[in-house]
Copies of this chain bind each other. A is one copy, B any other.
Amino acid sequence: MNGASGSSAEILGLIRSGTASTRAELIAKTGLSRSTMAQRLSELFEANLIVGGGETPSTGGRPATRLAFNDAAGVVVAAALGVTGNRVAVVDLSGRILAEHEEAHSIADGPTVTLERIAGRAEDLLSEAKIDRGEVWGFGVGLPGPVEFAAGRPISPPIMPGWDGFPVADWLQEHFDCAALVDNDVNVMALGEREQYFAAEDQFIFVKLSTGVGAGLILNGELQRGDQGSAGDIGHIYVPGHDVVCECGNVGCLEAIIGGRALARRLRAEGLPTSSSRDVLERVLAGDTAAVLAVRDAGRELGLVIAGLVNSLNPAVVVLGGIFAGAGDHLLAGVREAVYRRSPPLATRHLRIVASAAGPRAGVVGAAAIITGHVLGERGGQ
């Protein structure tokens, strides 16, 4: 993971991004000597990370071998855990999903039960896809709460009872016998959505509205985790005018007002039996007026908080994801209304506010990307 210049990781990055694909181009880009370059490339060939991908069109003289990243050098297992469900997938090094499975769960079952279930599902998917365990580069996981990324464990997660401080990455490393990285679910969703659909955008905000509410911030092209790993934790921003008590122990938090539980409670109070975020969404999709109104109101409150982010961070793109992104225009309309009303023209003139295109797959694609990036950095070596 060392960013030192001319490292194998840097060379691999140049090849993977298509910035340079011949020895001559790589030498020109890095300033390395011919002999150092030969040594680094030979290591990358030995690690099976690059392949000689054909010859470049001849310009006279000996044709140069074109080098390419080997997408098939391995696979990554990825899991996106929400409060009420999870998705596990086997993903190749370019982010393509080779096999996947989704199921309902309760995060309150605690870490051991949940992780055993996830690990078992991963085994099944590998068998199903006929992939040998030796090909697995690592296990990437997204969790619905703040995560200390370096230590790989949740920290004081408000809606994950029993998980506080549990060494998730260590557990997976031990029980699944491969590298494991854990990050906040919205961070991995942001990485996945951007990698697949907005690779050129360096100022990118992903906002999740499900049972929990959170944001993943990619600024100057980098995922922001903050000083303690809690960057993007917008679910507990104060929304004036409400006295709802939040599970975090505070009053008037955004999540307590517009999270899936709050919306279900609102519909129940109106006589509509609704117990989960999914129930709320189904009512919206069925055209139930009370549910549509609830989601639109939620969009307005969310929009005021997003307007604060737009004013502060001036993103180019805001993507709305999570379960309620499935409500499409009903949610978008409320958010856009608030943002265009409350953010200055300079911050909104080129701003796009859209629903997630990756949808429920954003999490696993992003969880895979953190492993791929990490292992490429490591195997690329110094």
At the interface with chain B, which of A62-70, A78-86, A230-238, A371-379?
A230-238
Q: Smallest distance from the beta carbon of A91 to chain B beta carbons, Å?
A: 26
Q: Is A217 an interface residue (CB 8 A)?
A: yes
C-alpha spacing A238/B305, complex, angstroms:
9
**B313→A231 contact, CB < 8 A:** yes
Q: Contacts A203-B226, A347-B226 given: A312-B342 contact, CB under 8 Å?
A: no
Residues of A in contact (CB 8 Å), total: 59
A109 within 8 A of B: no
Q: Chain B's nearest CB lies how many Å from the CB of A348?
A: 9
Check A32 for interface membership: any CB of B closer than 8 A: yes
Looking at the complex, which of A5-13, A94-102, A189-197, A266-274 is the stretch in contact with chain B?
A: A5-13
12 CB < 8 A contacts A-B = A5-B6, A33-B33, A219-B220, A225-B314, A228-B314, A228-B346, A231-B313, A232-B312, A236-B343, A240-B240, A308-B312, A309-B312
Interfacial residues, chain A to chain B (CB-CB below 8 A): 4-7, 10, 29-33, 36, 146, 155-156, 158, 203, 215, 217, 219-220, 222, 224-234, 236-238, 240-241, 248, 250, 304-305, 307-309, 311-316, 342-347, 349-351
Top 8 nearest A-B pairs (CB, nearest first) are A226-B314, A5-B5, A6-B31, A33-B33, A227-B316, A231-B314, A203-B227, A240-B240
